[in-house]
Each structure stands twice: as structure tokens, then as C-alpha cells.
């Protein structure tokens, strides 16, 4: 992404960018014409960015390391529950902790679970890992659903503050916020819009931070070893690499990114409940990753937008026309068909990794010749 000149992008990338741009223009027209609430648009974009985070997390595990992790929902859910249990005023255990501190609580919880799940399963064959991780994710969901005294059970957690609630300045804006120029009000923003903007800034910071971090580690010797493990684990072991340690590190890093998405989700939706941990969440993220292109972080962006389009689009479609099938089965059907079609037609995804694997210097050298 470092190259800003359009000439460096492939035709497919331009096509995808054009499509996303077109959707963006449509959404903006919707806002200007009043059909779409600005706060809702901000919510949609934030949600896409959250799925992007989840996809990038899975990319570290599946894309870089070839680990089939079907417990995305568990790590996402632990991040969400970790921060919700610490910050919510309805929390049965702690409550009213600052969201910034709770962020680390959520991440810590996910890291512990990642080691606990990873230790027994990462030694297993690929397909066993898939089954075991899906099962252990269900164990986490059953636990949260049943241990009312710690997690509030099926009722879920409410009374969660916004992420910036206790920050100086950002926490105590007055609403509606009026911009004045020379004493006359020129522009004002209602509370939902300001909250939406703050959320978007937060998730954008997460995404950019994670993206830069991943790009760095992916191009490092660590990333190269991980790619070797994905291609040929025996070879990596022959070269003297402790493949289990590398896989564990990738598993924990990916899980932490998923938990980060969960923490953001908590403060975006302000409500978490056990259905958030259902396996469908895991497979939304899988669709995003394999659609975008396994191992490609630009692909993760496309995948994130697609998932939100499926989730929210089916809801609108259901309001607009009488469908023979409800929105929930329709979403399931779309996700299922997408999986089948991608593996059949484009197993490498729409934006497979290209430049991700090459140092920018090497690219520049090529063009100079």
C-alpha cells in the first residue's frame, strides 16, 4: 500500500477499488438525500473495519501459517466479554473499570485462552485442528451461557460505556455539539454522529496499527519461517526451526487481533450476549478471508466490506420486498454459497497476496530497470 501512484495497482485492484468507490458514492448519496442516517453509515463503516480486524487476525493464522482456526468467535467473544465484564455497570464481577484498562483485560483473557487451546491442538494434523478448535470454541460459548454468576448468562451484559467515556475532552462533549464561527453557529452534530465518528477513529487506529505491525512481521525472518511452515512443515523442521513455537506465536498474535476486534465491538454495540459467540461469526470471518484472498491484508478489507454488505443488505432486502426466506436463513445461504463458489471458482481469492511478499525496495529496483 506504500505505493500511492495508481500505475502500481493491478487491473483487478482497480476494479475492486472502483466497486468499493461506487458503493461509497451510493451510500453518500443516501446520506445527503436523507434516506440513510449519518450515524448509521458511520456504524456500517466501523463494523466493516471490525470485520477487517478479525480477518487480519485469521490471516496471521491461516494465511501466513496455514493453521485452520475455527474458534474465531471464541477469541472475538472473549475480547468482547473481557472488556464488557470489566466496564459494564451490570457486570456480575467487576464493573466500572476504565475502558482503556479493560482493553488489556480482554486481550489478556484471549491470550490465555489462545495458549490453552493452542497447546494441545497445534500439535495435531490440520483437519484435527479444525475440529478441535471448533469444539473448544463451543465449550467457551457453553461456559459463558451457563455460568450466570460470572457472565450474566443468556441475558448478556448491558450498561457498557463508550470507549472514550472517561477521557478528558472527548468524554465530556456537550450535545448537540455546535461549531461556531465568530459567534454564529454554522454546523452542529448530534450525539449519535459524534459517537459514531469517535468509534470510527478508534477502529481506524486499531486497523492501521495492526496493519503496520503485520506488514512488518510478515516481511521479517519470522514471517518467512511461518510461510515455510505453511508450505512444508517438515522442511522447516529439517532446517532446525521449532515449528510448534512459531505456530503458537502466530496463533496467539492472530487471537489477540481477534480479541481487539471483540473489545471494539463491545464499545460499538454496547451490548454483548452469548449468541455473539456462535460458530456463524467464525465462518463470516472465514468467508471474508478466503474471498479477499488468503494471506492478503488488502483482501481482508474487501472481505470485511462484503460481510457487512451481506449482514445489513439482507436486513434491508427483507424490509423492502417480501422474501420467501427470512433474513437469517438468507444470510446463512449466502455465506454457504459464497464458500462453495470461492473454492470452486477462485480458490486464491479476489485479491491474492502479491506485493505483501516483496520488500518495497525490491519493487522499486524492478521499475528502475
Partner 1 sequence: MAQILQYLANGLVYSSIIILGSIGLSLVYSIADFANFAHGDTMTVGAYGSFVAFGLLGGMGGSLLGLPLGFYVSLLVGMALAAAIAVLTHLAVYEPLDTDSIGLLITSIGVAFVYRASLMGIFGTDFLQYDITRSGPIPFLLDTVGVAITQRDVAIVVSAAVLVGALHFLLQRTTLGRKMRATADNPDLARVSGIRTDRVILVMWVIGSALAAAGGVFLALYSQLDPRIGFGILLVVFAAVIVGGIGSVYGAMLGGLLIGMIHELTPLLGDIGIPIGTAYAPAIAFVIMVAVLLVKPRGIAGDLT
Residues lying near partner 1 in the complex (CB under 8 A): 68, 120-121, 123-128, 130-132, 134-136, 138-139, 142-143, 145-146, 279, 283, 286, 290, 324-326, 328-330, 332-333, 335-340, 343-344, 347
Residue 218 Cβ vs partner 1, minimum distance, rounded to whole Å: 21
Sign of CA dihedral 90, 93, 98, 100: negative
**13-28 as b/e, with b when 16 or more CB fall inside 10 Å?**
beebeeeeeeeeeebe
Q: Based on the number of CB atoms within 10 Å of its own CB, is 99 exposed (0-12), middle (13-18) or buried (19 or more)?
A: buried
13/138 with CB nearer partner 1:
138
Distance of CA 275 to the CA centre of its chain: 17
- For residues 123 and 224, which CB has a smaller minimum distance to partner 1 in the complex? 123
Task: Please report how close the Cβ of residue 251 comes to partner 1 at its closest, in angstroms.
Answer: 15
- Residue 76's CB is within 10 A of a number of other CB atoms, namely 31
Smallest distance, partner 1 to C-beta of residue 276, A? 17
**Residue 12 has which C-alpha cell?**
483487478
* Pick 126 or 172: Cβ nearer partner 1: 126
Min separation Cβ 124 and partner 1, Å: 6
Instruction: Output 95 or 313, the one with its CB closest to partner 1.
Output: 313
Q: What are residue 66's phi and psi, to 5 degrees? A: 70, 20
Q: How far is the CB of 32 from partner 1 (least distance, A)?
A: 36
Q: Phi and psi of 324, rounded to 5°?
A: -75, -5
Cis peptide before 176 (omega within 30 of 0): yes
Least distance in angstroms from the C-beta of 208 to partner 1? 30
Least Å from the CB of residue 185 to partner 1:
50
Closer by beta carbon to partner 1, 230 or else 267: 230
Residue 272 main-chain phi, psi, to 5 deg: -125, 145
Which lies closer to partner 1 via its Cβ, residue 176 or residue 336?
336
Closest CA to 192 of 355, 40, 352: 40
Least distance to partner 1, CB of residue 249, Å: 21
Q: Whole-angstrom Cα distance, residue 131 to residue 195?
A: 40
Rounded Cα gap, residues 242 and 260, in angstroms: 28
* Total residue length of the chain: 369
| Of residues 10 and 146, the one with the C-beta less far from partner 1 | 146
**113 or 207: CB nearest partner 1:** 113
Please report how the helices 279-292 and 297-320 are oriented relative to each other, as an axis angle in degrees rounded to 10.
Answer: 120
Amino acid at each position: 500500500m506504500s505505493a500511492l501512484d495508481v500505475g502500481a495497482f493491478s487491473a483487478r485492484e482497480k476494479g475492486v477499488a472502483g466497486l468499493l468507490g461506487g458503493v461509497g458514492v451510493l451510500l453518500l448519496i443516501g446520506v445527503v438525500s436523507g434516506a440513510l442516517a449519518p450515524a448509521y453509515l458511520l456504524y456500517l463503516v466501523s463494523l466493516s473495519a471490525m470485520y477487517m480486524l478479525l480477518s487480519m487476525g485469521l490471516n496471521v493464522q491461516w494465511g501466513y501459517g496455514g493453521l485452520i482456526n475455527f474458534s474465531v468467535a471464541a477469541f472475538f467473544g472473549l475480547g468482547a466479554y473481557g472488556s464488557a465484564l470489566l466496564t459494564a455497570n451490570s457486570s456480575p464481577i467487576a464493573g466500572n473499570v476504565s475502558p482503556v484498562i479493560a482493553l488489556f483485560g480482554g486481550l489478556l483473557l484471549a491470550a490465555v485462552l489462545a495458549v490453552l487451546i493452542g497447546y494441545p491442538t497445534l500439535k495435531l494434523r490440520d483437519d484435527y485442528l479444525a475440529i478441535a478448535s471448533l469444539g473448544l470454541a463451543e465449550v467457551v460459548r457453553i461456559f459463558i451461557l451457563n455460568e450466570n454468576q460470572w457472565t450474566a448468562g443468556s441475558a448478556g451484559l448491558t450498561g457498557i460505556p463508550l470507549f472514550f467515556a472517561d477521557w478528558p475532552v472527548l468524554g465530556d462533549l456537550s450535545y448537540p455539539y455546535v461549531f461556531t464561527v465568530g459567534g454564529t453557529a454554522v454546523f452542529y452534530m448530534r450525539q449519535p454522529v459524534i459517537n459514531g465518528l469517535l468509534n470510527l477513529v478508534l477502529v481506524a487506529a486499531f486497523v492501521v496499527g495492526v496493519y503496520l505491525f503485520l506488514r512488518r512481521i510478515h516481511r521479517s525472518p519470522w514471517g518467512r519461517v511461518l510461510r515455510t511452515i505453511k508450505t512444508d512443515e517438515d522442511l522447516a523442521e529439517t532446517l532446525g526451526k521449532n515449528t510448534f513455537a512459531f505456530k503458537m506465536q502466530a496463533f496467539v498474535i492472530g487471537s489477540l487481533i481477534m480479541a481487539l476486534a471483540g473489545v471494539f465491538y463491545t464499545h460499538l454495540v454496547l451490548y454483548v450476549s452469548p449468541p455473539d459467540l456462535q460458530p456463524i461469526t467464525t465462518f463470516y470471518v472465514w468467508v471474508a478471508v478466503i474471498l479477499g484472498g488468503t494471506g492478503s491484508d488488502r483482501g481482508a478489507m474487501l472481505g470485511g466490506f462484503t460481510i457487512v454488505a451481506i449482514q445489513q443488505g439482507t436486513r434491508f432486502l427483507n424490509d423492502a420486498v417480501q422474501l420467501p426466506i427470512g433474513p437469517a436463513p438468507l444470510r446463512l445461504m449466502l455465506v454457504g454459497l459464497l464458500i462453495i463458489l470461492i473454492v470452486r471458482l477462485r480458490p486464491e481469492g479476489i485479491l491474492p497476496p502479491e506485493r505483501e511478499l516483496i520488500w518495497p525496495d525490491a519493487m522499486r529496483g524492478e521499475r528502475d530497470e
